[in-house]
Structures are given as structure tokens and as C-alpha cells.
A = this chain, B = another copy of it.
């Protein structure tokens, strides 16, 4: 007996993340009147012959008014939990939006990750997993750079890392490690941010580097 496909209902649920005044924020859209919850993630079914990221881009554009530059797959969910459109399977996609980019359209609004309104249970799971994925990949994916404008100060970058990791970082160590990674290069612009010394602007420009990694880290969470 060889396998055969069956028809399933599928939804792409998009978690647009952006740093917003010292917290990570998620973009939610207002649901139709009469729905069980007032807010939901932007979502839709993928159109025929449309890739998942294309679908995510389309959905994001509809809610944020800007095409997103970076995606991170969160994974497929097929628990029994309720989805706003009753899709059998959800594919969660995290979209990273640079701080201050895009203006939410009429029925969309930013919510701090720590203070979300009630969501359909499936969407709640997708958000949680998206946040976890992004946080876990901070040091393997250029996640932090995609939450910043094309040029940024090193303090901006460190602030994003601290947001994502949820802890303070040592300034000198952070810069030493960044230097050694060849991930950024300085521009010749400087930014004066009100008071204090102006900061040099950098851009994300990863260079080839020999993968001279050292010892193993056992960073398992005690699950």
C-alpha cells in the first residue's frame, strides 16, 4: 500500500516582530465582529502556486503596509487547538521588521509580547513558539540585524540582543566578540542622539571567516 495525499485546510499564521520602546512587539489585526476573540495574528491560506514566504510577505504587507525583508520559520502546528479559521494545520512564520519600519494599517496594532490580548489558542501557541525560535536563533541567524535599520549604532545592536536574550550584556565583551565575528563594518556616518557623544553607524556586512569554533556548549534547557 503506497501513501496517498489527502486534502487538508492550511493556514499561514504570521508573527510580525519588531522592537518597540524597550520591548518586543507583535502585530495583531482586529477580527470580524462576532468572532470569539477581538484580535488575531495576520493569517491567510496560501494561494495556488505560492511559496510559504510569498504568502507570508503578502499577509504582512496587508497588515503593515511594508514588504518584510526577513522570515524565520516557526514550524507547523497541528494540535487540536482552535484556529480562527478552523484550519487543520497552521504554519507559523516569524517576520522581522526593523524598529520603526512600516505603519500598521487601519485594523492592525502593535502589542508588547508580554501584554497580548486574548487570542485563539492556536495563535497563542504560534506566538510563543515564534518568540522562542527567534530568541534561540539569535546567535545563529542574523535575527538581531533584521530588527534594526540598515545602519545602526553598536548600542542599538546591543539593546536588541539584550531584548532578545532577556539579560544584560557586558559592553566591552559584546564589542570584542562582534569584532571577532566580522559581521559588521563601520560606515563613515555618525549619529547624534540628543545628548551624549555621537555614535558611529555600522552596517551588517558579514564576511567569510574560517569556522574555527571551539568547545561544545551544553546549553540545554532543563525541560
The answer to the question of A87 belonging to the interface, with a C-beta cut-off of 8 Å to chain B, is: yes
Give the distance to chain B from A71, nearest Cβ to Cβ, in Å: 11
**CB atoms of A75 and B78 under 8 A apart:** no
Give the distance to chain B from A52, nearest Cβ to Cβ, in Å: 5
CA distance A161 to B221 in the complex (A): 18
**CB atoms of A4 and B45 under 8 A apart:** yes
CA distance A44 to B5 in the complex (A): 7
Contacts known (A7-B9, A222-B209); A80 close to B49, Cβ less than 8 A: yes
CA distance A5 to B83 in the complex (A): 11
| Chain B contacts for A213, CB-based, 8 A | 167, 219
**CB atoms of B161 and A85 under 8 A apart:** no
| Chain B contacts for A114, CB-based, 8 A | none
Contacts known (A10-B10, A76-B52); A165 close to B216, Cβ less than 8 A: yes
The answer to the question of A190 belonging to the interface, with a C-beta cut-off of 8 Å to chain B, is: no
- Report 14 cross-chain contacts, Cβ distance below 8 Å, ordered by A residue: A2-B31, A4-B45, A5-B45, A51-B80, A75-B76, A76-B76, A139-B216, A167-B213, A170-B215, A173-B216, A177-B217, A177-B218, A183-B220, A209-B222
